[in-house]
Amino acid sequence: MRAAAARQGRGRTVVADPDPYGPRRRLPAGHASVSDRQGGFRGWSAARRAVSSGLRFTSLRLRLVVVFGLVALTAAVSASGIAYWLNREAVLTRAQDAALDDFERAMQSHAGTLPVHPTEGQLAYAARQMGDGGQRFSVLLIAEGKNGETVQGSSGESALDGFTLRDVPASLRKAVTEKQELTSGNKNEYHLYWQRVVDGGTPYLVGGAKVIGGGPTGYMLKSLEPEAKDLNSLAWSLGIATGLALIGSALLAQAAATTVLKPVQRLGVAARRLGEGKLDTRLRVSGTDELADLSRTFNRAAESLEKQVADMSSRDEASRRFVADMSHELRTPLTAITAVTEVLEEELDAETGSVDPMIEPAVRLVVSETRRLNDLVENLMEVTRFDAGTARLVLDDVDIADQITACIDARAWLDAVDLDAERGIMARLDPRRLDVILANLIGNALKHGGSPVRVSVREDADDLLIEVRDNGPGIPEDVLPHVFDRFYKASASRPRSEGSGLGLSIALENAHIHDGEITAANSPKGGAVFTLRLPRDTSPLITEDQPKTAEGTGG
């Protein structure tokens, strides 16, 4: 008698040696197959990529290390997955081929020699003989007795005791006992079928075949646990290798990042030094790569910037020196002219008739313009002190309400200004410079906004807020950004101004020297609002080497 069988691998057919058996065929697994370690690697890699995509790295070094790590991890996981899959298929195929070959030979040599209607003892003896082969699998033989009853025999002393027909998947039993139609391509009525199953976490190989021409049906059960353990060990080894590759890539990435980022860090330090005003900063250039070209470009830019700043500083210094020299030179003749105009003004006020009425308007114009010229010279001298950094504070304890009242009274503005300030609000600052600020803000409000001008004082933590609000049309939006610019006049939107365009600029500089600020805005109720913010105590601004006196006025 002959037993026919065939076995089918994953997408391929493995044909046994030419013999009376047909090709073996594999059935779909009734249970989960041996764990696919490659899928585990892929799942872990996908989770890692998902976590990484949710992070935002700001450090270039960290990004380089992460990119290197991802590349190395992807390569290692891919290589490990392919190696695991290939080894897994090779190990399982080799084990199952050996077992099925042994089972085929045992069916031919033992089951095929049994009578057509064997006894239970004959079946058990044949099963034990079949199970004692080199592969050590359990065997179950089923045949029809003489009286038509079903007779079974199993290898009770085999490695896998307790193997019964219930352990064979129903689909496998059906395929094994189903008679095939004979064709030119199929010359065997029965074939050997196999299937891998998992029971209790242990993988098994189940195979079955029927003796052709009448005879018992045989089933074999072989444990694949040793192969599974070998595959688990292989998976752990590949995982460890992947981890080591990741660590090695991180170390290489760190070394590469250090090599790449050192020039970048030096460039950053040089850029900061350049921004701090150290225009002689240069980078040491070595090599011919892109970073070396970047360093050369930086050096050329720094050299050009240093030259331009030096030229600008030279011109600015010459301009400041010219303004200062011109102001000092103008003071001598201006003093004499001022003395003469004061005499003429006294004659006009005395109405003695010594001044010809025909030239009286001209004399008054000369007096007025002389005063403007004197104010302009004083303002220019004050501006030169700020530009040269020689302006200093002379501090004193000041009652803010008294200081504002004195400023208004000295300029005869009492009838045009409303003061909202409580007495007793003290501050330590430079009273002369505060007077310059107030005179410019209130005078500007009276000239361009109209009376009444309201001055209010309030406390804000450690600061003082002095608000000057006029009753005019407000400041045009396009003018607001320029109100503190030197020599700026919005003549198209305001009445003719007799000022020099330096008053608000000088007021702002005096606020800055107190570590304060002035802001300009339009009130929702109408009119312009200038807000002066000053610290209550400017003593920390005084350095030990600062002079205790300061000169210059503004107005």
Each domain of the chain, given as residue ranges in start order, spans 58-179+187-274, 393-535
Alpha helices in 178-289 (DSSP H): 225-275
pLDDT of 521 reads 92
Q: How far is the C-alpha of 32 from the C-alpha of 394, rounded, in Å?
A: 91
Residues 501, 491 contacting (CB under 8 angstroms): no
pLDDT of 1 reads 37
pLDDT of 495 reads 43
pLDDT at 41 over 50: no
Residues 412, 437 contacting (CB under 8 angstroms): no
Same fold yes or no, 58-179+187-274 and 393-535: no
pLDDT band at 467 (very low <50, low <70, confident <90, very high): very high
Q: How far is the C-alpha of 114 from the C-alpha of 276, rounded, in Å?
A: 102
Q: What is the reported pTM?
A: 0.44
Residues 152, 123 contacting (CB under 8 angstroms): yes
Q: Which residue has the tokens 């225009």?
A: 279
Which H or E run includes 125?
helix 120-131
Tens digits of per-residue pLDDT, 269-289?
888 888 888 888 888 887 777
Q: How far is the C-alpha of 19 from the C-alpha of 2, rounded, in Å?
A: 9
pLDDT of 155 reads 80
Comparison of pLDDT for 154 and 529, the residue scoring more: 529
Q: How far is the C-alpha of 106 from the C-alpha of 289, rounded, in Å?
A: 73
Residues 138, 165 contacting (CB under 8 angstroms): no
Q: How far is the C-alpha of 86 from the C-alpha of 94, rounded, in Å?
A: 12
Q: Which residue has the tokens 């290939």?
A: 86
**Distant-in-sequence, close-in-space partners of 273: CB < 8 Å, separation ≥ 6:** 281
Using the 8-state DSSP alphabet, how is residue 524 labeled? T
CA–centroid distance for 32 within its chain: 44
pLDDT at 539 over 60: yes
Dihedral, 315, 321, 327, 331 alpha carbons, nearest 10: -160
Q: Counting Cβ atoms within 10 Å, is residue 152 exposed (0-12), middle (13-18) or buried (19+)?
A: middle
pLDDT of 59 reads 66
pLDDT of 417 reads 92
Q: How far is the C-alpha of 450 from the C-alpha of 131, rounded, in Å?
A: 118
Q: How far is the C-alpha of 316 from the C-alpha of 322, rounded, in Å?
A: 10
Q: Which among 499, 517, 500 has a CA at the least distance from the CA of 508? A: 517
Fold of 58-179+187-274: Beta-Lactamase (3.30.450)
Q: Counting Cβ atoms within 10 Å, is residue 294 exposed (0-12), middle (13-18) or buried (19+)?
A: middle
- Please give the biggest Cα pair distance in the chain: 166
Domain 393-535 bears CATH identifier 2.120.10.10: no
Distances (CA, A) of 544 to 10, 540, 548: 91, 10, 10
Residues 7, 23 contacting (CB under 8 angstroms): yes
